[in-house]
Amino acid sequence: MGNDALILIVEAMVVYFLVLGAHSLRHRFGPVHFYALIGGITAIMSWVTDAGVAVDVSGITFVVGSTVFYTSLLLGVFVVYVFDGPRATRIAISTIVGVSAMMPAVAAALHMQMDMIGTARIAFVPLPSLRINAASVMVTMVDLVFLAIAWEYLGKPNLNLKLWIRAFLTLLGVMWLDVILFSTGAFWGTPDYLGIMKGTLVSRLVVSIFALPFLYAYLQWQSGKKGIEIGQRPVLAILKQVAEIKVELSLAQQEIEMRKQAEKERDRVIDALEKSLSEVKTLRGFLPICSVCKKIRDDRGCWNQIEAYIMAHSDAEFSHGICNDCARTHYPDLDLPAQ
């Protein structure tokens, strides 16, 4: 094994450990540093791939951009989806795709700036190929979505696959899908198309076997922690957001039902109060009353017997009797008890 191959292996191990280690610290420091690392690795991958850096080992060509950096991104998205769910995965995918699309534009802008000021172009910033980079961006997005779908499909209970087999088949499936789609998009119609695809398929198989122990060990380690487990989601959860939407809709429906009940209770109370208020009649303010006959003048200026006025403006009713003073005055023959 030559020094180039040894350097490639060490480099891959360092970057794999860096990505998985950053993800393991998400609960302590938050996920921001992980997404920042993912974005930085994506930028490096873009430039290294455009530069065509590769290593030959036993007749197999390993492109550094895909062997080291693209594989590390796959591992990062893999563990984010498994442990953090579709929402966090969409953020990671958006970060990778966004930076992948931006880096060729940055490189082209730098070369254009050098041309405008009459300075030699920056040799270590490769000029991107529009076709290759467009294929890379589109295929990357498809790969990462396919990763989530494949992981859930291979996790179906009826398949009963062991964790390491499920992880390997998912990783290899994404690797090979990337080769087929990228080679077709970037090199279809060229003489080297089939040769590039065959050679890359073999190299991706080797890379998948090499990366599997890192992925499997990390899955085992994280799933063994308290409160962290590998859940089973719907196959299209990454696209339809089924897992999260079900929970959110359930909570939303409960909240809506609670609000409906509260509104019904409020309406019932308001109706009862309005009904009570409509039935309540009160007397307030100054009442103009005749000092002789004791009739009361109403708002229209009419004089009413005091009984009639009070009955019209309240719920009081009258039963007539006679007081002792009036009885003595008007009925002196009655035998009344002394006061």
Last residue of a domain, one of 240, 270, 292: 240
Residue 164 falls within a domain, yes or no?
yes
Q: Average of pLDDT values for 100-108?
A: 81
Do 49 and 119 lie in one domain? The reply is yes
Residue 156 falls within a domain, yes or no?
yes
Q: For the chain, what is the domain count?
A: 3
| pLDDT (0 to 100) of residue 240 | 60
Do 126 and 274 lie in one domain? The reply is no
- Is the pTM higher than 0.75? The answer reads no
Do 275 and 152 lie in one domain? The reply is no
Residue 329 falls within a domain, yes or no?
yes
Place 182 in a pLDDT band, splitting at 50, 70 and 90: confident
Do 82 and 171 lie in one domain? The reply is yes
Provide the mean pLDDT of the chain: 81
Lowest model confidence (mean pLDDT) among 32-36, 99-103, 113-117, 244-248: 244-248
Query: Where is mean pLDDT largest: 87-101, 221-235, 263-277, 284-298?
Result: 87-101
338 backbone dihedrals φ, ψ, rounded to 5°: -70, 145
Do 68 and 201 lie in one domain? The reply is yes
Give the model confidence (pLDDT) of 61-84 as tens digits.
888 888 889 899 999 999 998 888
Do 95 and 156 lie in one domain? The reply is yes
pLDDT exceeds 50 at position 128: yes
Q: Average of pLDDT values for 38-62?
A: 83
Residue 245 falls within a domain, yes or no?
no
pLDDT exceeds 70 at position 235: no
pLDDT exceeds 70 at position 124: no
Do 53 and 115 lie in one domain? The reply is yes
Lowest model confidence (mean pLDDT) among 136-145, 236-245, 259-268, 293-302: 236-245
Do 187 and 261 lie in one domain? The reply is no
Do 187 and 312 lie in one domain? The reply is no
Do 158 and 37 lie in one domain? The reply is yes
Residue 112 falls within a domain, yes or no?
yes
pLDDT exceeds 80 at position 120: no
Do 152 and 293 lie in one domain? The reply is no
pLDDT exceeds 50 at position 242: no
pLDDT exceeds 70 at position 106: yes
Do 98 and 171 lie in one domain? The reply is yes
Last residue of a domain, one of 183, 217, 240: 240
Domain that includes residue 162, residue range: 3-240
Residue 58 falls within a domain, yes or no?
yes
Give the model confidence (pLDDT) of 155-175 as tens digits.
888 888 899 999 999 999 999
Q: Average of pLDDT values for 137-164?
A: 87
